[in-house]
Amino acid sequence: MNAQTGPSLPTYADVEAAAERLKGIAHHTPAMSSATANRRTNASLVFKPENLQRMGAFKFRGGYNAIASLSPAQKKAGVVTFSSGNHAQAIAYAGQLLGVPTTIIMPNDAPAAKVAATEGYGGQVVRYDRYTQDRLAIGDRLASERGLTIIPPYDHPHVIAGQGTATKELIEDAGPFDILIVPLGGGGLLAGAALAAKALNPGCRIFGVEPEAGNDGQQSLRKGEIVKIGVPKTIADGAQTAFLGDLTFPIIQRDVEDIVTVSDAALIDAMRFFAERMKLVVEPTGCLAAAAAFTGAVPVEGRRVGVILSGGNVDLASFARFIAPSV
Ligand SMILES: *Cc1c(COP(=O)(O)O)cnc(C)c1O
């Protein structure tokens, strides 16, 4: 990194290289539409259901691309990451497919289902106490002791490029669009989407969507620098990130029109819509972009709009609670 020019940012060429690596390995998810959604919004919406991606979220794309891009020696030594969400499962699964050992650092109180899923994909889970121990320090120590390569969940050029392949497919299959709407946590998905959209569909306006409770990205865009917040309280657990990255923020600042927010209630409404009308299980975070179209947080009337549904990993008990009719 250079203090004057900043880190060198990934480009659309990196998204194309990721698409080559992922060919025949990641699912090419469909482009889907719904007459009901179009009537409801007076727009033409095209959904990209990454809940149907391998391991249930777009994170497989970035995780696989990052591990596949390592040198033979790095692959042999293995990788480490810290996450209890979809990135952990993506790294574990991609490592299993590529024969690369994976270590996942998870808090002692991580949901048992997530630990089991990660172990089921072959990841070695290392537990820590999140009240007394620092996961970054544990990651650094494991990396230096065992020669592991750290693969962070969003602020990494190959992760961003891999995530961009979802938008590349969507635009190639169903574009061009007037507007593209993308869920936003740490910004890997949105930055990758921006690289693809600006190359393939330069007139498209790009919006990121955060949960109302955690609008650090919106604040960062307004302020022109990365704003850090406390861990937000929201059902969108995939977007509980507290700050954007040194790579994702400059791309978002350069290419993204605006960042808007939606409430948890709007996420639940969207989950119900996808289950009932489109027979899709979409997790709360996966509904961020759609909820912005449905509520008008992004004005879509009269437009052709690409909408990323980012994932579908929600345990059945929670899903049932979310979609149960409120009486
Ligand atoms: C991680 C995740 C996000 C946010 O992605 P970022 O790259 O961190 O912005 C959105 N939706 C789902 C389902 C996720 O797992």
What's the 3-state SS for 19-70?
HHHHCCCCCCCCCECCHHHHHHHCCEEEEEEHHHCHHHECHHHHHHHHHHCC
pLDDT number for residue 2: 45
Per-residue pLDDT of the chain (327 residues; tens, 9 = 90+): 444 556 799 999 999 999 999 999 999 999 999 999 999 999 999 999 999 999 999 999 999 999 999 999 999 999 999 877 899 999 999 999 999 999 999 988 887 878 888 999 999 999 988 788 888 899 899 999 999 999 999 999 999 999 999 999 999 999 999 999 999 999 999 999 999 999 999 999 999 999 999 999 999 999 999 999 988 899 998 888 889 999 999 999 999 999 999 999 999 999 999 999 999 999 999 999 999 999 999 999 999 999 999 999 998 999 999 999 865
What is the pTM (predicted TM-score) of this model? 0.96
Counting other chains too, the contacts that 318-321 makes at CB distance below 8 Å and 24 or more residues apart are 319/271, 319/281
Contact 303, 43 (CB under 8 A): yes
What's the pLDDT score for residue 307? 99
Place of tokens 């709407």: 181
Distance 184 CA to ligand 1 centre (A): 6
Q: Which ligand 1 atom minimizes the distance to the CA of 159?
A: 7
Query: How far is ligand 1, taken at its centre, from the CA of residue 232, in Å?
Result: 14
The verdict on the CB of residue 208 being under 6 Å from ligand 1 is no
- Out of 81, 234, 310, mutate this one to test ligand 1's pocket (max ligand atoms within 8 Å of CB): namely 310
Contacts for 291 with CB less than 8 Å, ≥ 6 apart: 209, 262, 266, 267, 269, 270, 297
Q: Exactly one of 83, 84, 220, 310 is catalytic; name it.
A: 84
Question: Closest by alpha carbon to 188, among 220, 154, 165?
Answer: 154
Q: What is the DSSP letter of 147?
A: T
Strand duo 124-128 + 149-150: pairing: unpaired
Q: Does ligand 1 lie within 6 Å of residue 191's CB atom?
A: no
Q: How far apart are CA 115 and CA 85, in angstroms?
A: 9
Tell whether ligand 1 has an atom less than 6 A from the beta carbon of residue 125: no
Q: Which residue has the tokens 């391991």?
A: 55
Cα four-point dihedral sign 194, 175, 282, 63: negative
Q: Given this model, what pLDDT does residue 3 score?
A: 47
- DSSP 3-state of 115: helix
Name the DSSP letter for residue 286: G
Compute the distance from residue 38 Cα to the ligand 1 centre, in Å.
25
Ligand 1 centroid to Cα of residue 200, in Å, is 22
168 is catalytic: no
Residue 179, pLDDT score: 98
Kindly provide the residue ranges of all beta strands, DSSP E only, lying in 108-265, ordered along the sequence.
Answer: 124-128, 149-150, 179-183, 205-211, 258-262
Contact predicate 98/69, CB 8 Å: no
Q: Looking at residue 11, what is its pLDDT?
A: 98
**Nearest atom in ligand 1 to 283's CA:** 13
Residue 73 DSSP SS3: helix
Q: Is 86 in the pocket of ligand 1 (CB under 6 A)?
A: yes
Does any ligand 1 atom lie closer than 6 A to the CB of residue 59?
A: yes
Tell me, in angstroms, the distance from the centre of ligand 1 to residue 131's CA.
24
226 Rama sector, left if φ>0, alpha if ψ -120 to 50, beta otherwise: beta
What residue owns the CA closest to ligand 1's atom 5?
185
310 catalytic, yes or no?
no
Ligand 1 pocket check for 56: Cβ under 6 Å = no
Tell how strand 44-49 and strand 304-309 pair up.
parallel
Q: For residue 231, what pLDDT is reported?
A: 85
